[in-house]
A and B are shown apart, each in its own frame.
Chain A
Amino acid sequence: MIHTMSLMHDDLPFMDNDDLRRGKPTNHKVFGEDVAVLAGDALLAYAFEHMAVATKGVPSERIVRVIGELAKCIGSEGLVAGQVVDICSEGNADVGLDHLEFIHIHKTAALLEGSVVLGAILGGANDQEVEKLRKFARCIGLLFQVVDDILDVTKSSQELGKTAGKDLLADKTTYPKLIGIDKSREFAAKLNREAQEQLAEFDPEKAAPLIALANYIAYRDH
C-alpha cells in the first residue's frame, strides 16, 4: 500500500509527471490529480490501520515497534528525503556519486529496508540479526536502482512497462551517466555479493527466498 501510494504521488504532473506505470496509464490520468492525491493519502493511512488491527499472534510491543520503524522509513528521514533530494538535483550537472547514493538509499532502498526489517522484528530477530538484514536491504535497494538506471538506457518502454529513456530526457543523473554502463554493471555485481554475505550465517533454506530476490533484482530485464 505504501509502495503504491508513493508511486501514485511520484507520478503526478508536478512531480515526475509520468503517464505510464506498471504497464498501465498512471492513476491521475485515469482518476484525476485530486483523487490520486487523496487515494494516496488514504492508502498511507490504511497501511497503518491495517498493521495495527490485523496483525495476529504477535505481541503488541513488536507491532508498535514495527509501526514506528515503518513510519521512519517512509518519512522525511527515509523515502521522502530521497524524493526531496532527487527533485532538488534535477538539471544539476554537479551531482556526484555520494549524492546519487543518498537519493537511492532513501528513495528506493528505504522501503525495501523497512520491509525486511519489519519482517525480521515480527519474526523475533535479535538486534544484531535485524542490523544484518538492514544492511542486506540497503544493498539490494541500491542494486535495484543501479539496474533500473541501466535498463532505462538499454530497453524500450514496452519491455519496461514504464516510460523509457526518461532519465536522459530529463537530464537526470544516473549511474551509467556518472560511471558508464560497464562500471555500473560491476557495481551491481558487488552490491549483490555484499547483500548475500549478510545472509551467510542464516539457515540457507530459510534464507533462500531472500537470496533469490537479490538475484532477481540483479538479473531482471524489466
Chain B
Amino acid sequence: MVFSTVITPSPQLHFPKTTFPIIQRAIRTYSASLSTTPQRISTSQFDLKTYWTTLIQEINNKLDEAIPVQYPQQIYEAMRYSVLAKGAKRAPPVMCVAACELFGGHRHAAFPTACALEMVHAASLIHDDLPCMDDDPSRRGQPSNHTIFGVDMAILAGDALFPLGFRHIVSHTPTDLVPEIRLLKVIAEIARAVGSTGMAAGQFLDLEGGPNGVDFVQEKKYGEMGECSAVCGGLLAGASDEEIQRLRRYGRAVGVLYQVVDDMLEAKTDKEINNKKKNKGKSYVAAYGIEKAMEVAEDLRAQAKKELDGLEKYGEKVVPLYSFVDYAADRGFSVGDQAQ
C-alpha cells in the first residue's frame, strides 16, 4: 500500500463533548507518529494465517457443539445459520484468545468467552440486517437471517443468542483457570460493549443520524467489538488494570482500522456499493475521501502497535496481536470468505 505523505486539509469535524474518539486523535497526531518508530519484535516470521485458521477450526467446532438442534428446531436452525456462517472470519475470538495467551492464560480458559463473543456478534448482526434497521439482504456471503427464516424468527434468534453467550461463559469456563470474580468482569465487559453505550448506540446513531460524524459511529459499531474482545482476553488471564487499558485502546484501534480498510477496499472495487453506503450508513471513505482514509488507517496501525510496545516483557507472546494489526491494514492473505 502506498500512502500519501501530503496531509490534505481536514473537513469540519464534530468533536463530542466528553471524550475525543480515537479517529479524531488519529487525524491530529498523524504527523507526530511518523517521526519515531521504536524497534519492535520481528513479526515477519510469524505465520498469522495458520494461527488464525487453526483457531477458526477450534472455535467453529465449539460453536457447533454449543448450539445443538433441539425442539423447537426452527430457532436453533436460525441461530446456527448465522453463527456458523462459512464467511465468518472469527476476528473477535482470535483477538480474545491471543490476548489471553499474551498474559500467560491458557486458551481453554478463553474458548468459552471467545465463542460467546461470536454468539453476541452474530446476534447484533442479525438484528442490524433487519428490514426496519439496515435492511441488508446478505451477510457474510449468504442471504441474511430474516430473508430465510422470517423477521420474527430472526428477532428471536438474536434474542436467544445474546443470553446464550453469557450462559456459555458460565457453564463452560473452567473455574480453576478463571476465578468467578474475573468471570463477572468479563460478563460485564461484554454486556457493556453490546449495550446502550456500545454497539447499540453505534447502530442507533448510524440509523438515526445526528451531529456525530462517521468517526463516532465507526468507533461505536466496530471499535467496541475489537476493544471488548481484547479486554476479555486480558481479564481472563488476570492482566493488570494498566494492561487492560492498553488492550482496550489496542482493540479499539484495530476494530476501527479493520472497518476503515474494509470501506477503502469496497470503494476501490465497486463504486455502486459506495453509493449505497452513502445513502444508508456511514462509510469513512464516502465521508472523507480515500486519501484521508489511508492516513487514518496508517495512524490507527501505529496507535495499535504503540499500545503493544508497552508489553515487551511478554516477548514472543505479543506477536500474534502485532501481526493482527498488519493484517487488518494490509490484508496480506484471505481468511474465511472475504465477501460481506
Contact of A67 with B166 at beta-carbon distance under 8 Å, contacts A37-B127, A41-B158 already known: yes
B188 at the interface (CB under 8 A from A): yes
Complex alpha-carbon distance, A146 and B312, angstroms: 64
From 64 to 107 in chain A, residues with beta carbon under 8 angstroms from any chain B beta carbon are 64-65, 67-68, 70-72, 74-76, 80-81, 83-85, 87-88
Complex alpha-carbon distance, A44 and B167, angstroms: 13
Contacts of B132 in A (CB 8 A): 32-34, 37
Decide if B194 touches A76 in the complex (CB within 8 Å): no
Decide if A46 touches B170 in the complex (CB within 8 Å): no
A53 at the interface (CB under 8 A from B): yes
Decide if B188 touches A75 in the complex (CB within 8 Å): no
A60 at the interface (CB under 8 A from B): yes
B177 at the interface (CB under 8 A from A): no
Contact of A80 with B162 at beta-carbon distance under 8 Å, contacts A46-B195, A49-B195 already known: no
Complex alpha-carbon distance, A14 and B146, angstroms: 11
Decide if A76 touches B162 in the complex (CB within 8 Å): no
Contacts of B130 in A (CB 8 A): 37
Decide if A37 touches B162 in the complex (CB within 8 Å): no
**A48 partner, pick from B181, B185, B191, B208, beta carbons under 8 A:** B191
Decide if A63 touches B184 in the complex (CB within 8 Å): yes
Contacts of B207 in A (CB 8 A): 34
Decide if B170 touches A67 in the complex (CB within 8 Å): yes
Contact of A76 with B155 at beta-carbon distance under 8 Å, contacts A46-B195, A52-B184, A65-B170 already known: no
Report B122 CB to chain A, min CB distance, Å.
13
Contacts of A72 in B (CB 8 A): 163, 167
Decide if A87 touches B133 in the complex (CB within 8 Å): no
Complex alpha-carbon distance, A48 and B175, angstroms: 19
Decide if A74 touches B163 in the complex (CB within 8 Å): yes
- Chief secondary structure at chain B's binding surface: helix
Complex alpha-carbon distance, A33 and B132, angstroms: 6
B196 at the interface (CB under 8 A from A): yes
Decide if B200 touches A61 in the complex (CB within 8 Å): no
Report A182 CB to chain B, min CB distance, Å.
31
Decide if A75 touches B153 in the complex (CB within 8 Å): no
Of the listed residues A35, A41, A45, A87, the one surrounded by the most CB atoms of chain B closer than 10 A to its CB is A45
Category for how many chain A residues contact B? 35 or more
Contacts of B166 in A (CB 8 A): 48, 67-68, 71
Contacts of B196 in A (CB 8 A): 39, 42, 45-46
Contacts of B155 in A (CB 8 A): 9, 12, 14-15, 37
**A38 partner, pick from B72, B185, B200, beta carbons under 8 A:** B200
Complex alpha-carbon distance, A88 and B208, angstroms: 33
Report A115 CB to chain B, min CB distance, Å.
15
Complex alpha-carbon distance, A88 and B74, angstroms: 9
Complex alpha-carbon distance, A49 and B194, angstroms: 10
B75 at the interface (CB under 8 A from A): yes
Decide if A49 touches B188 in the complex (CB within 8 Å): yes
Report B113 CB to chain A, min CB distance, Å.
13
B164 at the interface (CB under 8 A from A): yes
**B164 partner, pick from A15, A76, A83, beta carbons under 8 A:** A76
Decide if A70 touches B188 in the complex (CB within 8 Å): no
Contacts of A9 in B (CB 8 A): 155-156, 159
Decide if A71 touches B163 in the complex (CB within 8 Å): yes
B79 at the interface (CB under 8 A from A): yes
Decide if B188 touches A76 in the complex (CB within 8 Å): no
Contacts of B270 in A (CB 8 A): none
Decide if B167 touches A15 in the complex (CB within 8 Å): no
**B153 partner, pick from A52, A65, A70, A84, beta carbons under 8 A:** A84
Complex alpha-carbon distance, A63 and B158, angstroms: 24
From 9 to 41 in chain A, residues with beta carbon under 8 angstroms from any chain B beta carbon are 9, 12, 14-15, 32-35, 37-41
Closest 5 CB pairs of A and B: A68-B170, A49-B191, A45-B195, A71-B167, A60-B180
Provide 28 A-B residue pairs closer than 8 Å at the C-beta atoms, listed in order of the A residue. Answer: A6-B159, A9-B155, A9-B159, A14-B151, A33-B132, A37-B130, A38-B127, A41-B123, A41-B200, A42-B200, A44-B159, A46-B191, A48-B191, A49-B195, A52-B188, A52-B191, A59-B180, A64-B180, A67-B170, A67-B184, A68-B171, A74-B159, A75-B167, A76-B160, A80-B156, A81-B72, A81-B75, A85-B72
Question: Which residues in B have some Cβ–Cβ distance to A below 8 Å?
Answer: 71-72, 74-76, 79, 123-124, 127, 130, 132-133, 150-153, 155-156, 158-160, 162-164, 166-167, 170-171, 175, 179-181, 183-185, 187-188, 191-192, 194-196, 198, 200, 203-204, 207-208
Beyond A45-B192, A64-B187, 20 additional pairs, beta carbon < 8 A: A9-B156, A14-B151, A34-B133, A34-B204, A39-B200, A41-B158, A42-B195, A45-B198, A45-B200, A46-B191, A59-B180, A63-B180, A67-B170, A68-B170, A80-B156, A80-B160, A84-B74, A84-B156, A88-B72, A88-B74
